[in-house]
Structure 1
Amino acid sequence: MPANRNALIRYKTIDNCLRNKYRRWTLEDLIDACSDALYEYEGITKGISRRTIQMDIQMMRSEKLGYNAPIVVYDNKYYKYEDEDYSITNTPLSEQDLKVMSEAVEVLRQFKGFSYFSNMGDIISRLEDHVTSARQKTIPVIDFEKNESLKGIDYLDMIYHAVVSKQVLRMKYRSFKARSASSFLFYPYLLKEYRNRWFVFGVKQGTSVLVNLALDRIHNLEIAKEESYRENTVFDPVTFFDDLVGVTKNTGSRAEVVRFWVDRLNAPYVETKPLHKSQRVVERQKDGAIVFEIEVVINQELRREICGFAEGIRVLAPPMLVRQMASKFQQANELYRQS
């Protein structure tokens, strides 16, 4: 019988405890740790019995879940892993697990052609690759872009459930520009990933202004269970990003037509990987250069995209963006002159 969610939380908590070699763990210590974990993740305040944790340890030692955890007792009261490098998270997939995953992948593949599942293509490919490498004991052949050292990623699950369950967040947050962190209540409406950074869109209590907060700038986060949730009336998540490069859109910002010239070396790259979905070719020049147009809100992410092409791109319109980019490149030129 598959382990339920609460049991899995307990197993993971016991595993984390026993992997800590710098502390001695009694059964009472493990009970307290599991109680704290269930309260944190599930809001369960009911205590856990000694028998429950003893049965959990017995289950982890057994083959039923495939753990075979080498849990031993020493000095007649302390628990530890006999193998200090052991963790249930390192347990290899069983043949049955691989069979189930293979079947799931086959089912998911049937939906890849449907528009509703169009965003699942990379997930299905990742599962296919993982199952194949596990079965054949080969190295993966697909390496997806990731940032394993990204701060704040631990908050992702809590924020996701807060959005789905319509719960208020109590947050301590410090932006790059702020001298110190500030605390406030936050109504979360949408999670968004951009270039391996995660952002949560929502509204602070007492305002009606939509803001996006980077998860890697959050210092502390918890569910404010006593607070009433405020429904989203400030933006449409389905259409909000239609005229954006990135995630930043200030209140009242409107899309503008941005025209830019790209030299012959970079033109094929920009044409095959557009800066924005609205991109269109305005003029193909004899030397291979191309003039493009996009209709977007002008923001910091757009300016950074343009800077990435350095001498291979020149903004032609609107005049305000031309001046901004000219100033940026002049400052960069001065920086290199000083060196």
Structure 2
Amino acid sequence: MATNKNALIRYKVLDNCFRNPGRRYFIDDLIAECENILLEIDPESNGISRRQLFEDIAFMESKEGWSIDLARHRFGKKVYYRYADMSFYINNMPLNEVEINQLKAAVGILSQFKGMPQFEWVNELVPKLQQGMAIDEMPTTIMEFDSNQYLKGIEHLGQLYNAIFYKKVLAISYQPFENDIPFEVRLHPYFLKQYNSRWFLFGYNPEKKKHDWNLAIDRIVSVEETKGAYQKNNKIDWQEYFEDIIGVTKPDNAEPEQVVLHFKGRTGKYMETKPLHGSQKSKWIDENTLKISLHVIINYELERLILSYADMVAVIAPLRLADTVKSRLEMAIKQY
């Protein structure tokens, strides 16, 4: 058993002994109580030495511990130990100022999720935390996440989250932008992914026999749970799945390639501080040009991202990506 876990067990045992008014606990009694519990939990435990017990008491009395007020009462030639205030116990200690400020910050962060469908519990939890910590006044917001609770389809997010958690098969009415009417997709949901302020649902589509079928949540019309056996995901590690791409689109059988981009001037400095991808390697080739190398799968989102930098970026490799970006820019010029 880990030493720190043993220590926590001993502190709890000592706390119970110190606040027991019905018995006098001398040093040997405290050692016996600790050893009984430790051996019950771990038969191979070495117990506790007298020296360790005194160190535990010293820690509990220190500011690093719980600053306990421990009385030492003489009984004949021996001393027994008991809390000076018998209503005290370590789990009932008031929070110090540092702990209160840390919890205030945590509550403030949690409050950012209010209104999000999958975080309904926050609406109930935050007031309870405020009351439990006696926080009369919350500080003004000093941090905000980039989220849009008015995003179309966001009302489905909680149901989709629960369907993944509880392994439910879904019948989803879905209407892509190019379709005039919705169609139904039966999906075994596995994963939710946010990209560029939009949410996407990934799962197994039995009709297409694809385990990474994805649907944009803002194009979902309705969601219903259906009966039937849920097929667990045993094929895809989602963390690995997204390692080689920017965004959510992963073309079938595509492999990562070396993508080389040149960024100009101030934009280059910006790209150093906000990498496009985890594989990014950067090098200034002159005072005005930053060379960036990425090892990624080329997809729609990568193209759109490059286009968003307009004349401040040039695609050096691969050539077909450069041609695609050039073609799109030429079509854009024709709009004016």
- How far apart are residue 108 of structure 1 and its match? 11
- CA offsets 1:106-137 (integer angstroms, 9 cap, x no match): 4798xxxxxxxxxxxxx7762488979x8446
The alpha-carbon distance between structure 1 residues 159 and 334, as it changes in their structure 2 partners (threshold 3 A), is: same
- How far apart are residue 152 of structure 1 and its match? 1.2
Partner of 1:126: 109
1:291 and 2:291 matched: yes
Q: Distance in 2 between matches of 1:288 and 1:135?
A: 54
The alpha-carbon distance between structure 1 residues 334 and 271, as it changes in their structure 2 partners (threshold 3 A), is: same
Q: Distance in 2 between matches of 1:252 and 1:177?
A: 25
Task: Show the 5 A alignment for 1:11-160.
Answer: 106=102, 126-127=109-110, 135-136=136-137, 139-160=140-161
Q: Distance in 2 between matches of 1:108 and 1:143?
A: 15
The alpha-carbon distance between structure 1 residues 272 and 125, as it changes in their structure 2 partners (threshold 3 A), is: farther
- How far apart are residue 173 of structure 1 and its match? 0.4
CA contact (8 A) 1:105 1:128 kept: no
Q: How many residues align?
A: 220
1:310 and 2:310 matched: yes
The one-letter code matched in structure 2 to 1:303 is E
The one-letter code matched in structure 1 to 2:312 is G
The alpha-carbon distance between structure 1 residues 321 and 127, as it changes in their structure 2 partners (threshold 3 A), is: same
The one-letter code matched in structure 1 to 2:299 is N
The alpha-carbon distance between structure 1 residues 196 and 103, as it changes in their structure 2 partners (threshold 3 A), is: farther
Q: Distance in 2 between matches of 1:126 and 1:191?
A: 21
SS of equivalent to 1:213? strand
TM-score (norm 2): 0.60
The alpha-carbon distance between structure 1 residues 228 and 310, as it changes in their structure 2 partners (threshold 3 A), is: same
Q: Which moved more, 1:151-160 or 1:233-242?
A: 233-242
The one-letter code matched in structure 2 to 1:218 is I
SS of equivalent to 1:324? helix
SS of equivalent to 1:223? strand
Partner of 2:217: 215
TM-score (norm 1): 0.59
Q: Distance in 1 between matches of 2:158 and 2:111?
A: 24
Q: Distance in 2 between matches of 1:173 and 1:211?
A: 13
The one-letter code matched in structure 2 to 1:152 is G
1:249 and 2:250 matched: yes
Partner of 2:327: 327
Question: What is the root-mean-square deviation in Å for CA atoms of aligned residues?
Answer: 2.8
Q: Distance in 2 between matches of 1:324 and 1:227?
A: 44
Q: Distance in 1 between matches of 2:240 and 2:266?
A: 34
- CA offsets 1:210-257 (integer angstroms, 9 cap, x no match): 211111111110111x21111224422120000111111021121111
Partner of 2:264: 263
CA contact (8 A) 1:263 1:289 kept: yes
Partner of 1:9: none
Partner of 1:172: 173
- How far apart are residue 263 of structure 1 and its match? 0.5
Q: Distance in 2 between matches of 1:317 and 1:172?
A: 41
CA contact (8 A) 2:259 2:294 kept: yes
The one-letter code matched in structure 2 to 1:286 is D
Q: Distance in 2 between matches of 1:105 and 1:203?
A: 45
Partner of 2:58: none
Q: Distance in 1 between matches of 2:136 and 2:276?
A: 39
Q: Distance in 2 between matches of 1:215 and 1:234?
A: 23
CA contact (8 A) 2:108 2:141 kept: no
CA contact (8 A) 1:208 1:234 kept: no
- How far apart are residue 286 of structure 1 and its match? 2.6
Q: Distance in 1 between matches of 2:253 and 2:138?
A: 54
- How far apart are residue 103 of structure 1 and its match? 6.7
CA contact (8 A) 1:105 1:127 kept: no
Q: Distance in 2 between matches of 1:333 and 1:221?
A: 41
CA contact (8 A) 2:104 2:138 kept: no
SS of equivalent to 2:232? coil
The alpha-carbon distance between structure 1 residues 108 and 299, as it changes in their structure 2 partners (threshold 3 A), is: farther
Q: Kindly, what percent of the aligned residue pairs are identical? A: 31
Partner of 2:237: 236
- How far apart are residue 151 of structure 1 and its match? 1.2
Q: Distance in 1 between matches of 2:101 and 2:222?
A: 37
CA contact (8 A) 1:171 1:221 kept: yes
Unpaired stretches in structure 2, ≥5 consecutive residues: 1-94, 113-125
